[in-house]
DNA sequence: TTATGCAGTGAAAGCGCTGTCATATTCGAT
DNA sequence: ATCGAATATGACAGCGCTTTCACTGCATAA
């Protein structure tokens, strides 16, 4: 049933070599012959077999995208950006989640060493994940999204989280008059959490404000956990005029909702800010002051860098940095709220 | 650099046939020989080349997932469910968006006719999309998610939207005392919109309530559009005690926010309900009464059905139906709100 | 003894393609 | 007429694998 290059050759009355030449636009094929071949291709609706081609060329035009998880808007946007750019550059995208109940390594090494994909974009959000070790063994080009892997040469695309995080904390202190800021992060080993927490501590110290370890919480980025935590603590926070800096928008939303449930008004009695600037940030009331992270750009840029490496394997490792920016809305009680 | 079956054969001192036999666990290989081969495989960290294998076997263990769009939590959850199930069954998933500025057909036919994927799951949300026509030409097994394609035999996984939609409208009328319900849908040609609108009209008529065409709006499922529309109409709606039935949660959220902005209280002065039961539904205040659609199950089930078809190409076309259920929260003003 | 069967293995034929090399044709210049 | 170069095409090897078929021993049956 599947039509092969042989069929096309027969119909066009040429050899398969000529058909191949037409397909690959390599050497010049006589105009008339080319027309004939192209017609045959069209009539038979012929598509070159990817496997045969891959076998010869040792490449597939498929890129792998391995994320820690597929849950939520954050990853969804990365996928979207990556997918768009991949197609733009003539590649297909294969998405995998390293997490879940599956062993990330399995997936990763399966995908990469199979020779199926030409290169991969990996997001490593956990500081000592096994994924990192596995990456050391990966024989194909890969770019690390939002992280670094020691001892292995690779390209990377990172977000300058510090910039946004620092701007946020400064804003809370200088413009909103914060004296106490509670930090609600993700897991202790999570790279993003670490970066954001450090920025928070730095700015606090520079502003001569105390950094109380009791004011640092490590959850799992989920709405529910944040809601639960806040349900217990929100009254105390409000009483002490504390600000809450959540490491993502979802947790910020959970905290706001917990506050509302306790009859505490945000931002009048409690100020809460988030991180990421997902659409959630615009859906909470009050809308979230947050740090904008260009998620789909991350995906797109990572794919782009990967493709460049594929084109030129010799180029020195690149590290691209994307900026994160403070977005001021209402949840921090600041006067300078942007309009919708 | 890449180690081939040849290398393994040499190291184990056997022919490649034997190595292949060990790999495929087909004919019985002598225990001792097998051990030797397995050792060699391990020592060399050998992985069969996917292309060579695909070329012989005419199959790749890759499944395609083609969605109308990759934006938002709805699709993200489908991907997640599909991905998990695919890995569970030993397949890789390739995700494509038919939408965007890319021609869905191109992607679809490229993916399918290339012979790269063994089968595809396609979501066709537009009633007369070109995708449908393209599907007619697809030569590999495919399952349609949330739709039907006339004239072509295929499996499908659908959501019984009517059930949920009817339950919703009945609830609004019977339990909440709605006399006028405004319907805010997606595009006129969108399958889901059509289903939900029909259910809405049916129930309205059966309840002897007027269905005013002016009360039916067609937007694009986005928060922003819904917000804009509601900003103009929300006061009129509130004055006439209208209920708003939005065809997804995002639009419902936009409408609620527009109302709040105009100083109209939800659910006291205006009642708004959504559809899908994405996480957004729990993040709005008041939380959304909505219809739960099992998104990740959709993805998983579609993959499962596809794999069954792959195993048994002869089996008659299946149509699996997933249920949608009313979830009552606060935004409809009903007394029977569930707790968080 | 010769025939028969069977477990275990190797040789070799492709799968559909690309790319190298050889061959055929044409044309301008000797 | 003869040659060289340029142009256009075909024959064929080989990518790494699976699978068929043939072959080798060795045990059992006739």
Res A99 pLDDT > 90 = no
Alpha-carbon distance A225 to A70, whole Å?
19
Q: Who wins on pLDDT, B252 or B107?
A: B252
Q: Is the pLDDT of residue A269 over 90?
A: yes
The pLDDT value recorded for residue A337 is: 44
Of the residues B69, B84, B279, B313, the best mutation for testing chain A's interface (the one with the most A CB atoms within 10 Å of its CB) is: B279
pLDDT bracket for residue A121 (50, 70, 90): very high
The pLDDT of residue B239 is 95
- pLDDT of res. A263: 93
Say yes or no: Cβ of A30 under 7 A from any atom of strand C: no
As beta bridge partners, residue A289 has A273
Tokens of B22: 């060990």
User: Contact A55/B60, CB-based, under 8 Å?
Assistant: no
Could you say which residues 33-52 of protein chain A have a Cβ atom less than 7 A away from any atom in strand C? 46-49, 52
The answer, for A218 touching chain B at a CB cutoff of 8 Å, is no
Segment B323-338 mean pLDDT: 81
Length of chain A: 340
Structure tokens at B49: 């080349």
Q: What residues of A are in contact with residue B285 (Cβ under 8 Å)?
A: 257, 260, 285
* pLDDT (0 to 100) of residue A147: 84
Q: Is the pLDDT of residue A103 over 60?
A: no
Over range B249-274, report the average pLDDT: 94
Helix, strand or coil, per DSSP, at residue A204: helix
Long-range contacts of B337-340 (CB under 8 A, 24+ apart): B337/B287, B340/A227, B340/B282, B340/B287
- Residue B107's pLDDT band, with cuts at 50, 70 and 90, is low
pLDDT of A186 over the 60 cut: yes
Helices B73-88 and B295-311, axial angle in degrees (round to 10): 40
Residue A292's DSSP bridge partners are A276, A325
Query: pLDDT-based confidence at B112, cuts 50/70/90?
Result: low
pLDDT tier at A111 (50, 70, 90 boundaries)? low
Give me the CA A290–C1' C25 separation in Å, rounded: 73
**What pLDDT score was predicted for residue B151?**
79
For A128-142, A311-325, B33-47, which range has the lowest pLDDT when averaged over its residues? A128-142
Identify whether A45 is preceded by a cis peptide bond (ω within 30 of 0).
Answer: no
Note every long-range contact of A261-264, with CB atoms under 8 Å and residues 24 or more positions apart, other chains counting. A261/A231, A262/A231, A262/A234, A262/A235, A264/A234, A264/A235, A264/A238
- Which bases along strand D come within 7 Å of a protein CB atom? 7-12, 14-20
Please give the pLDDT value at position B338. Answer: 44
pLDDT of residue A102: 47
| pLDDT band, very low/low/confident/very high, at A339 (cuts 50, 70, 90) | very low
Residues of chain B positioned with their CB less than 8 A from the CB of A111: 92
Residue B294 near residue B158 (C-beta atoms within 8 A): no
pLDDT in tens, B159-217: 999 999 999 999 999 999 999 999 999 999 999 999 999 999 999 999 999 999 999 99
Nearest CA to the C1' of D9 belongs to which residue? A18
Instruction: Output the pLDDT for position A340.
Output: 41
Name the nucleotide with the smallest C1'–CA separation from B4.
D16
Question: What SS3 class is residue A300?
Answer: helix
DSSP letter for A184, please.
E
pLDDT attached to residue B283: 84
Give backbone dihedrals phi and psi of B228, rounded to 5 degrees, phi first.
-60, -50
Looking at residue B337, its pLDDT comes to 44
B110 to chain A, closest Cα gap in Å: 8
The Cα-based distances of B132 to A165, B137, B148, B150 in angstroms read 47, 9, 9, 9
Is residue A335 pLDDT above 80, yes or no? no
Average pLDDT for residues B321-336, to the nearest whole number? 88
CA distances from A191 to A127, A159, A194 (A): 6, 11, 5
Contacts of A288 (CB under 8 A, 6+ apart): A249, A252, A253, A256, A272, A273, A274, A277, A280, A281, A282, A329, A331
> What CA–CA distance (Å, rounded) separates A164 from A178?
17
Considering Cα of B227, then B196, then B244, then B76, what sign does the dihedral take? negative
- CB-based contact (8 Å) between A42 and chain B? no
DSSP notation for A161-176: HHHHHHHHHHIIIIIT
Sign of CA dihedral A1, B91, A134, A124: positive
Which B positions 243-302 lie with beta carbon below 8 A of chain A?
Answer: 250, 253, 257, 260, 279-280, 282-285
- Give the Cβ contact number of residue B101 at 10 Å: 7
Using a 10 angstrom Cβ sphere, with 0-12 exposed, 13-18 middle and 19 or more buried, the burial of residue A127 is middle
% of residues, chain B, pLDDT over 90: 66
Q: Nearest chain B Cα to A249, which residue?
A: B283
Confidence of residue A215 (pLDDT cuts 50, 70, 90): very high
Average pLDDT of the residues in B267-275 = 95
Q: What is the mean pLDDT of chain A?
A: 89
Using the predicted structure, report yes or no on whether residue B158 has a pLDDT greater than 60.
Answer: yes
3-class secondary structure per residue, chain B? CCCCHHHHHHHHCCCHHHHHHHHHCCCCCCHHHHHHHHHHHHHHCCCCCHHHHHHHHCCCCEEEEEECCCCCHHHHHHHHHHHHHHHHCCCEEEEEECCCCCCHHHHHHHHHHCCCCCEEEEECCECCCHHHHHHHHCCCCEEEECCCCCCCCCEEEEEEHHHHHHHHHHHHHHHCCCCCEEEEECCCCEHHHHHHHHHHHHHHHHCCCCCCHHHEEECCCCHHHHHHHHHHHHHHHHHCCCEEEECCHHHHHHHHHHHHHCCCCCCCCCEEECCECCCHHHHCCCCCEEEECCHHHHHHHHHHHHHHHHHCCCCCCCEEEEECEEECCCCCCCCCCCCC
Query: What is the percentage of chain A residues whose pLDDT exceeds 90?
Result: 65
Q: What is the mean pLDDT of residues A119-124?
A: 90
Please choose, from the candidates A110, A240, A296, A153, the residue with its C-alpha nearest in 3D space to the C-alpha of residue A304. Answer: A296
Rounded to an integer, what distance in angstroms lies between the CA atom of residue A227 and that of residue A253? 8
Burial class (CB in 10 A: 0-12, 13-18, 19+), A239: exposed
Categorize the per-residue pLDDT at B339 as very low, low, confident or very high, splitting at 50, 70 and 90: very low
Q: What percent of chain A has pLDDT over 70?
A: 92
Chain B contacts of A60, Cβ < 8 Å?
51
Protein residues with Cβ atoms closer than 7 angstroms to any atom of nucleic acid strand D: A 13-18, 21, 27-30, 32-34, 52, 55-56; B 2, 4-6, 16-17, 19-21, 23-24, 26, 46-49, 52-53, 55-57
Distance CA B171, CA B175 (A): 5
pTM above 0.85, yes or no: yes
pLDDT score of A187: 93
């Amino acid at each position: 049933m599947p039509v092969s290059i042989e069929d096309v050759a027969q119909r066009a009355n040429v050899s398969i070599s000529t058909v191949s030449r037409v397909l690959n636009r390599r050497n010049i094929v006589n105009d008339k012959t080319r027309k004939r071949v192209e017609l045959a291709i069209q009539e038979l609706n012929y598509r070159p077999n990817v496997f045969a081609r891959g076998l010869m060329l040792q490449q597939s035009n498929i890129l792998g995208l391995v994320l820690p998880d597929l849950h939520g808007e954050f990853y969804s946007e990365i996928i979207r950006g990556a997918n768009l750019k991949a197609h733009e550059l003539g590649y297909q995208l294969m998405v995998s989640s390293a997490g879940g109940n599956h062993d990330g390594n399995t997936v990763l090494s399966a995908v990469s060493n199979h020779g199926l994909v030409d290169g991969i974009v990996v997001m490593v959000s956990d500081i000592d994940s096994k994924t990192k070790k596995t990456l050391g063994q990966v024989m194909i080009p890969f770019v690390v999204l939002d992280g670094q892997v020691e001892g292995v040469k690779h390209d990377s695309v990172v977000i300058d989280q510090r910039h946004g995080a620092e701007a946020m904390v400064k804003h809370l202190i200088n413009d909103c008059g914060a004296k106490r800021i509670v930090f609600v992060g993700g897991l202790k080993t999570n790279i993003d959490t670490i970066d954001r927490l450090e920025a928070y501590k730095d700015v606090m110290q520079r502003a001569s404000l105390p950094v109380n370890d009791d004011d640092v919480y490590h959850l799992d980025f989920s709405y529910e956990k944040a809601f639960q935590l806040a349900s217990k603590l929100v009254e105390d926070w409000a009483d002490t005029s504390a600000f809450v800096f959540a490491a993502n928008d979802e947790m910020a939303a959970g905290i706001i909702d917990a506050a509302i449930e306790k009859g505490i008004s945000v931002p009048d009695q409690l100020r809460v800010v988030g991180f990421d600037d997902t659409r959630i940030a615009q859906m909470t009331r009050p809308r979230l002051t947050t740090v904008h992270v260009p998620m789909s750009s991350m995906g797109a840029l990572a794919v782009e860098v990967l493709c460049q490496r594929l084109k030129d394997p010799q180029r020195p490792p690149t590290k691209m940095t994307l900026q994160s920016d403070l977005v001021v809305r209402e949840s921090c009680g600041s006067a300078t709220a942007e309009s919708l």
